[in-house]
Amino acid sequence: MAGMFDKLEAVEQRFLELESRLADPSLADQPGEFRRLSREHASLQELIDEYRHYKQLQSEFSSNRELLEDKDAELSAMARDELKRLEPEIEQSRRGLQILLLPKDPNDEKNIMFEIRAGAGGEEAALFVGELFRLYQRYAERQGWKVDILSANSTGIGGFKEIIAMIEGQKVYSRLKWESGVHRVQRVPETEAQGRIHTSTVTIAVLPEAEDVDVNINPVDLRIDVFRSGGAGGQGVNTTDSAVRITHIPTGTVVVCQDERSQHKNKDKAMKILRSRLLDAEQERAAKEHSDARRTMVGTGDRSERIRTYNFPQGRLTDHRIGLTLYQLPEVMEGKIDEILDGLQAHYQMEALKAQGISG
């Protein structure tokens, strides 16, 4: 515990240094340095606020403990009540500090590339792709995030083989990163005459948006093809060579965008997707060097693999990673998923604390 507070003292000292530096008028001539110091200052603010709150609680605790020995019985009783109130607050603040000291995921503040694809189950899986996408759209609306569809491969009757979207907003990756994986749906399809329950799967990949500084793409490594769009979109789309296919030759990664009438817009969208996929692949490779046991993001889409099951006949959702079961499936499908996301965040924070030798 002493080591933790030594670290907190050092962080607070750095925070004070940053405040002093940012108040220096000479920084006005160094906009790059000012932005760098401002970002570091902002990144420490939450931790410093919690640490100062913790110290205030400890000061109150010490003062009330001294009053326990006061000859005034009423004052002593009040102090005893205050100690009972302060103890759980201090413990909650201490745990909050432990979590805030965990190594930060450098992608947490980023926007995301959100990819949903049909897995096993044919048209039923494709229909669920559309329903899941609407779920996350509704959640994004509640968060004040912006959703921009970059690519959509429709099956024609309301389903999608694939939807790729950019979701922009505050801490989008931090909130949705645990949604990556195989999502299993169990229900009776509308086309099922005998009322049998079918099981289908959909895969979700949540990729942090890659900026130019994150991924260095050499133009000579790209093959860019343009062709006439074959998808829906009206006569204007189908009579011009507006669709774009970009192939990253070294990795064989291929991205196709054809939703826009403009070839230029399709190319921009395709490059966004390509950068995020290459960044994800590089981060995956680096992580595997440190842990051979690291699982792939979405698996194969086989029915036996799943992170979550949506059981419509019973109105039940189960997240298998944390053993959470909710009988609120209609509400979940309307985008009310905070309870799930909060549970996942708490679970992985606890896992990270255990990995550092800090138990409950």
Return the CATH fold of 112-213+297-355: Alpha-Beta Plaits (3.30.70)
- Inform me whether the pLDDT recorded for 290 exceeds 70: no
Q: Which residue blocks in the chain are alpha helix, DSSP H?
A: 2-22, 31-67, 73-100, 122-143, 172-176, 235-238, 263-290, 329-332, 338-355
- Of these ranges, 163-172, 266-275, 329-338, the one predicted with the greatest mean pLDDT is 329-338
Task: Give 70's pLDDT tier (boundaries 50, 70, 90).
Answer: confident
Q: Is 202 left (phi over 0), alpha (psi -120 to 50) or beta?
A: beta
Task: Give 2's pLDDT tier (boundaries 50, 70, 90).
Answer: low
pLDDT of the residue at 292? 43
Taking the C-alpha atoms of residue 140 and residue 183, their distance in angstroms, rounded to an integer, is 19
Return the CATH fold of 2-100: Methane Monooxygenase Hydroxylase; Chain G, domain 1 (1.20.58)
Is the full-model pTM beyond 0.95?
no
pLDDT of the residue at 333? 96
pLDDT of the residue at 284? 75
- Inform me whether the pLDDT recorded for 303 exceeds 70: no
pLDDT tens, residue by residue, 239-268 = 567 888 899 988 888 988 887 788 888 888
Taking the C-alpha atoms of residue 174 and residue 99, their distance in angstroms, rounded to an integer, is 14
How are beta strands 253-257 and 160-168 bridged, if at all? unpaired
Domain ranges of the chain: 2-100, 112-213+297-355, 219-290
Q: Which CATH class is domain 219-290?
A: alpha beta
pLDDT of the residue at 234? 43
Query: Other C-beta atoms within 10 Å of 135: how many?
Result: 19
pLDDT tens, residue by residue, 19-33 = 999 999 988 888 888
pLDDT of the residue at 31? 85
Query: How far are the Cα atoms of 120, 209, 309 from residue 304, in angstroms, in the given order?
Result: 10, 30, 11
Q: Dig out the tokens for 278 from the structure.
A: 């290459």
Taking the C-alpha atoms of residue 157 and residue 23, their distance in angstroms, rounded to an integer, is 60
